[in-house]
Amino acid sequence: MSSIPLPGSGSGSGPSPAAAQPLGPTRSAAFEARLARRYRAERNFRVIGLSAVVFSVAVLVFLLGTMLMNGIAGFQRAELAVTIDFPASGLSGDPTSLTAPSASQTLEMQGLPDVVTFFAEEQLGTDAAAQISPDAWRDVAAALADDPALIGESVTFNLPVTSALAAGLQGDGPAEIRALARRLSAEGKLARNWDWGFLSRSDATTPQSVGIWGALKGSMLTMLVTLVLAFPIGVLSALYLEEYAPRNRWTDIIEVSISNLAAVPSIIFGLLGLAVFLALFPNLRSAPLIGGMTLALMTMPVIVISGRNAIKAVPPSIRDGALAIGASPVQVVFHHVLPLALPGMLTGTIIGMARALGETAPLLLIGMRIFVATPPEGFASPATVLPMQIFLWSDEIDRGFVERTSAAIIVLLAFLLAMNGLAIYLRNKFEKRW
C-alpha cells in the first residue's frame, strides 16, 4: 500500500524547494539605523562621562598640588644660628623659677633680650644681628623653661629672622638684604628649617612668629559646643516629627520651615547670634560659647533632615515585629528604630559639622575676628577659629603670610578629611543590614 505524501514533503530524498529557500531579513534598514544611533549615543555618553571624571580629578590634583607647593614653605621659616654662653651671660635662675608661669617676665627683667642681641652681634655682625626678630628671645626663654639645665651650658639656638631677611633668602627685597642673605647662607648660619612651632604657637604680628594652635584650639572648642547643642536637639526633633507629631497643617509648616532653614545663607545666622546671644551675654563676645551656639543654629536643620531620612529608611517590619513581641511604642523607637537610624544620623551630623567648621561669615558678626596672641583658656575666653585666621592672614601683604596661609589651609583640609573619615568609620561600624 503506497503512502500518501505529506504536504510540503518531497517525493524524493532531496530537500524541498521551500526548505531550500533562504530566509529573508528580520531587521529593516530603518531599524538598523536607529540601533546604530543608539549604540553611538551610548559610546558618546561613556566618553563624556569619563572625560568629566578625568577633568574633575585633574582640577583637584592641580589645586592640591598648588596648595601643597605653597603650603610646604609655610611650614618652614628662615633662622639664624646663634650660640649663647649662659654662664658668661650673667643670667641666673633655678629650675623652680624657670618653670614658673612668670619665667619669661623674670628672664626679660634680667636682660635676656640684650643677651641675645649681644651674642648675635658678636658672632654675626651688627647688620645680621639687626635682622633677628625682636621676639626671638622668647624662643630662648621657652627652651629654658623646657630644660632649666641649659642655664649652665653654652647652647646654639636657631632664631627667627625678620620678614625682610626671609624674603632676601628667597631672592626678594632690596639688593643689600639679598647680598646679606647670600653671605649668611654661604657661611651656614642662615637657613630655612622646619618650623614645628607653627603648630604650637598662636597669632603674632610677624609671619616668622605666627602659629595656628590658638585658632585651632578655638575651632575645637567652638565645634564641641556646636556638637553638644545641635546633635541631641536635632536627633530628638527628628524623632518627634517622624514618630510622634500629628499630621496636620502645623507640622507641615514646621517641616517646610526646617527645609528652608537648611538653605538660609550662613550670615543670617550670624545676625541672629548678634541680636539674641550677644544681647543676652554681652560679656561673652568672641567667645567659643557664643560661636558654638550660633553655628548650632545653622547645623541643626541639616541634622533634623538627615535624621528624618534615616528614620524613614528603617523598614516598617522592624516596628511591626517589635510591637508583635510586646514592646511599647517608646521601646520600639529607642530600642529598635533609633539604633538602626543612628549611622545615617551620625553621617549627617558630621557633614553638618564639617560645613560649620569652614564658616566665617556668622563668626564675623559675633566678634571672632580678633587678634588673639594666646590660646583660649576656656569656652568663655576670647578666641578665633582657623577659617577666620586664614581670612585674616590672606589680607596681609607680606609674602610670609601668604605661605603661612597656605600651610593653615592644609591643616584645615586635614581636619576636614579626618572628620569625613570619622563619618565613614561610624557609618560602617554601626550600620546594620537586613
Confidence (pLDDT) at 14: 52
Shared-domain flag, residues 184 and 233: no
pLDDT tens for each residue of the chain, 434 residues long: 445 454 544 545 555 555 555 544 567 888 888 888 999 999 999 999 999 999 999 998 998 888 788 778 888 888 899 999 988 888 887 777 777 878 888 888 888 889 999 999 989 888 888 888 888 888 888 888 888 888 888 899 999 988 888 888 888 888 888 898 898 988 888 888 888 888 888 888 888 888 899 899 999 999 999 999 999 999 999 998 888 888 888 888 888 888 888 888 888 888 888 888 888 888 888 899 999 999 999 999 999 998 999 888 888 888 888 888 888 888 888 888 888 888 888 888 888 888 888 888 888 888 888 888 888 888 988 888 999 888 888 887 777 788 888 889 888 888 888 878 877 787 777 766 65
Its pTM stands at 0.79
Q: 120 lies in a domain?
A: yes
Q: Same structural domain for residues 395 and 270?
A: yes
- 190 and 253 together in one domain: no
400 and 163 Cβ atoms separated by less than 8 Å: yes
Does the residue 174 lie in any domain?
Answer: yes
Domain boundary among 137, 161, 194: 194
Q: Do 360 and 222 share a structural domain?
A: yes
Do residues 356 and 386 lie in contact, with contact meaning Cβ atoms separated by under 8 Å?
no
- 364 and 325 within one domain: yes
Q: Give the range of the structural domain holding residue 170, as residue numbers without chain letter.
A: 77-194
Using left for φ > 0, alpha for ψ between -120 and 50, and beta otherwise, residue 188 falls in left
Is the Cα dihedral 367, 372, 378, 384 positive or negative?
A: positive
Question: Is 11 inside any structural domain?
Answer: no
Report yes or no on 384 lying in a domain: yes
Residues 356 and 400 in one domain: yes
Q: Is residue 10 part of a domain?
A: no
Structural domain contains residue 273: yes
CATH value at residue 385? 1.10.3720.10
Q: Do 282 and 352 share a domain, yes or no? A: yes
Q: What DSSP line would sit under 325-355, residue for residue? A: TT--HHHIIIIIIHHHHHHHHHHHHHHHHHH
pLDDT at 224: 92
Q: Does one domain contain both 298 and 408?
A: yes
Q: How would you list the strands of the sheet with 154-160, edge to edge?
A: 154-160, 76-85, 190-194
Would residue 288 count as lying in a domain?
Answer: yes
Whether residues 288 and 217 share a domain: the answer is yes
Domain boundary among 159, 194, 229: 194
pLDDT at 296: 92
- For the chain, give the longest Cα–Cα distance: 142
- Concatenating the DSSP letter of every residue in 221-233 gives HHHHHHHHHHHHH
Tally of structural domains, the chain:
2
Predicted pLDDT of residue 13:
52
